[in-house]
């Protein structure tokens, strides 16, 4: 029987955000009255605060997560004839960025943590490999120590796709400071976001930061002199204001998401044969951009939860190497057995910061009802 209870997966604006809205609008008014529409104070302030959060000396704001990846690859000269190893279960932009700079995306399988499996990297290396692009999927940092060992052994660079991982950390080192550069997205669905598109790149290299600033602004060294032909990929000043205001709430948002995830782990952890919760690594700070688990009869569970008013998602049902866009790379289903299997098992439950405890109870009860497993006494 369908329920009247509705638990949307995403609920971006609730009353608790009214104060944030007022503060943001006031700061936008200030930006507009100063006519600072392009770069200016808000962008610099956001870059400074974001670098601090990421434990890096520099952050360069751009106009999307995709551009953050593209500009990072270009900053180290990756292009035609080069290969970059990444995960096949990411959002399409990861592979697209590699392809769009003219390089070849090379996939390696993932592990049971849903992230790049470090033991699969070596087999993917060729003489053309220039970088590894680990994706901290769902906000869960990759096993960076082992990835770094392989990168060092093969003398290739690490460019993090940290689009989903703002505030995450591995061994207390923040995402964005775990490689040479870290690329983040400020898309409205991300834990830290703007009211439109945006992205930011972190690095400890002055030279790379200088290059990225030129790349995002037509290659302009100053008003009149151009170092090289380039894009316009600046973060809008108004979006920088929005992101800056949201940054103040990030710790709270992260704590709420982590607390929700903890509740799910606790309440669904005994459903062993039906629900598999990924192992929680102690050295990792997971920020739960998405709360993902593996579910037996996933599609039937998803449909049942929808009937109960619970919206769930799959991130992502079609791995990148199955996509038509990737056909030219010559991969086939079965090439990455873990990734291919996970595509049919993974399910994302709502974990947004404004979720209520009784909603989590309702979701957990519904999952138990589906599998006909009573609550432990």
Ligand X SMILES: Cc1ncc(COP(=O)(O)O)c(C=O)c1O
Q: Quote the CA–CA distance of 156 and 179 in Å, as a whole number.
A: 11
Within the chain, where are the H helices? 18-33, 41-54, 65-75, 92-100, 121-124, 144-153, 206-215, 237-247, 250-268, 298-307, 337-343, 357-371
Closer by beta carbon to ligand X, 140 or else 185: 185
- Determine if 199 is a binding residue for ligand X (CB under 6 A): yes
Q: In this chain, which of 164, 202, 239, 312 binds ligand X, going by CB under 6 A?
A: 164
CA distances from 77 to 17, 94, 96, 157 (A): 42, 17, 17, 11
Q: Does 258 contact ligand X by CB under 6 A?
A: no
Looking at residue 67, the DSSP 8-state letter turns out to be H
Binding flag, residue 181, ligand X (CB under 6 A): no
User: Among 310, 301, 331, which Cα is nearest to 109's?
Assistant: 331
d(CA 52, CA 176): 11
Smallest gap from residue 299 Cβ to ligand X (A): 23
Site track 312-351 with ligand X (rule: CB under 6 A), x = hit: ----------------------------------------
Neighbours of 294 (CB within 10 A): 18
Of the residues 24, 56, 64, 326, which one makes contact with ligand X according to CB under 6 A: 64
* 86 near ligand X, rule: CB under 6 A: no
CA of 81: how far to CAs of 71, 78, 105, 141, in Å? 17, 9, 11, 29
H or E element in which residue 62 lies:
strand 58-62
Instruction: List, in order, residues 6 or more apart from 250 with CB less than 8 Å away.
Output: 53, 166, 167, 191, 192
**Hey, which residues between 91 and 120 contact ligand X (CB under 6 A)?**
91, 93-94
Three-state DSSP class for 303?
A: helix
Q: Of these, 28, 66, 133, 147, which contacts ligand X (CB under 6 A)?
A: 66
Residue with the closest Cβ to ligand X?
65
Between 350 and 364, whose beta carbon lies closer to ligand X?
350
C-beta closer to ligand X: residue 241 or 263: 241
Residues 207/233, Cβ–Cβ less than 8 Å? no
* Nearer of residues 117 and 197 to ligand X, judged by Cβ: 197
Residue 135 in contact with ligand X, rule: CB under 6 A: yes
Question: Closer CB to ligand X, residue 278 or residue 308?
Answer: 278
Among positions 163, 169, 192, 363, the unique one binding ligand X when judged by CB under 6 A: 163
Q: Is the dihedral of CA 74, 80, 83, 86 positive or negative?
A: positive
* Contact between 185 and ligand X per CB under 6 A: yes
157-161 vs 275-276, strand pairing mode: unpaired
Q: Does 202 bind ligand X (CB under 6 A)?
A: no
Using only the alpha carbons of the chain, give its radius of gyration.
21
- With contacts defined by CB under 6 A, name the span among 61-69, 78-86, 231-239, 339-347 that binds ligand X: 61-69
CB of 135 to ligand X, least distance (A): 5
Q: How far is the CB of 289 from ligand X (least distance, A)?
A: 8
Ramachandran angles phi, psi of 174, nearest 5°? -65, 150
Answer yes or no whether residue 182 interacts with ligand X by CB under 6 A.
Answer: no
Among the listed residues 50, 29, 62, the one whose alpha carbon sits nearest the alpha carbon of residue 200? 62
Q: How far is the CB of 287 from ligand X (least distance, A)?
A: 13
Residue nearer to ligand X on the CB measure, 90 or 215: 90
From 86-94, 152-160, 232-240, 267-275, span contacting ligand X (CB under 6 A)? 86-94
Least distance CB 297 / ligand X (angstroms) = 27
- In the complex, least distance from residue 202 CB atom to ligand X, rounded to whole angstroms: 15
Is residue 187 involved in binding ligand X (CB under 6 A)? yes
Minimum Å distance from CB 165 to ligand X?
A: 8
Which residues of the shown chain bind ligand X in the complex (CB under 6 A)? 64-66, 90-91, 93-94, 135, 161, 163-164, 185, 187, 197, 199
């Amino acid at each position: 029987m369908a329920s009247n209870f509705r638990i949307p997966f995403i609920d971006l604006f609730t009353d608790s955000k009214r104060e944030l809205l007022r503060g943001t609008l006031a700061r936008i008014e200030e930006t507009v009255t100063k006519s600072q529409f392009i770069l200016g104070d808000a962008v610099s302030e956001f870059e400074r605060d974001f670098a601090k959060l990421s434990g890096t000396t520099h952050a360069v704001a751009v106009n999307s997560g995709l551009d953050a990846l593209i500009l990072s690859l270009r900053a180290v000269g990756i292009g035609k004839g080069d290969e970059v190893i990444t995960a096949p279960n990411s959002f399409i932009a990861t592979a697209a960025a590699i392809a769009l700079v003219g390089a070849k995306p090379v996939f390696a399988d993932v592990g049971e943590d849903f992230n790049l499996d470090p033991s699969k990297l070596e087999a993917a290396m060729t003489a053309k490999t220039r970088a590894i692009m680990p994706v901290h999927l769902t906000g869960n940092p990759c096993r960076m120590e082992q990835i770094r060992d392989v990168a060092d052994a093969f003398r290739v660079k690490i460019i993090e796709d940290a689009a989903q991982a703002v505030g995450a950390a591995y061994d207390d080192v923040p995402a964005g400071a775990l490689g040479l550069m870290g690329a983040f997205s400020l898309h409205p669905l991300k834990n830290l976001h703007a009211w439109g598109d945006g992205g930011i790149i972190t690095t400890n290299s002055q030279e790379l930061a200088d290059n990225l600033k030129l790349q995002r602004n037509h290659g302009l060294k100053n008003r009149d002199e151009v170092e090289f032909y380039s894009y316009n990929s600046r973060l809008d000043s108004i979006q920088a204001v929005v992101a800056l205001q949201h940054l103040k709430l990030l710790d709270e948002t992260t704590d709420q998401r982590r607390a929700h995830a903890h509740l799910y782990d606790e309440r669904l952890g005994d459903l062993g044969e039906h629900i598999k919760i990924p192992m929680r690594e102690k050295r990792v700070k997971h920020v739960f951009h998405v709360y993902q688990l593996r579910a037996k009869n996933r599609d039937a569970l998803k449909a049942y939860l929808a009937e109960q008013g619970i919206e769930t998602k799959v991130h992502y049902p079609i791995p990148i190497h199955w996509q038509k866009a990737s056909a030219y790379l010559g991969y086939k289903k079965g090439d990455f057995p873990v990734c291919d299997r996970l595509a049919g098992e993974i399910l994302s439950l709502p974990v947004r910061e404004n979720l209520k405890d009784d909603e989590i109870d309702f979701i957990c009860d519904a999952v138990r009802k589906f599998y006909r497993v009573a609550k432990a006494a």
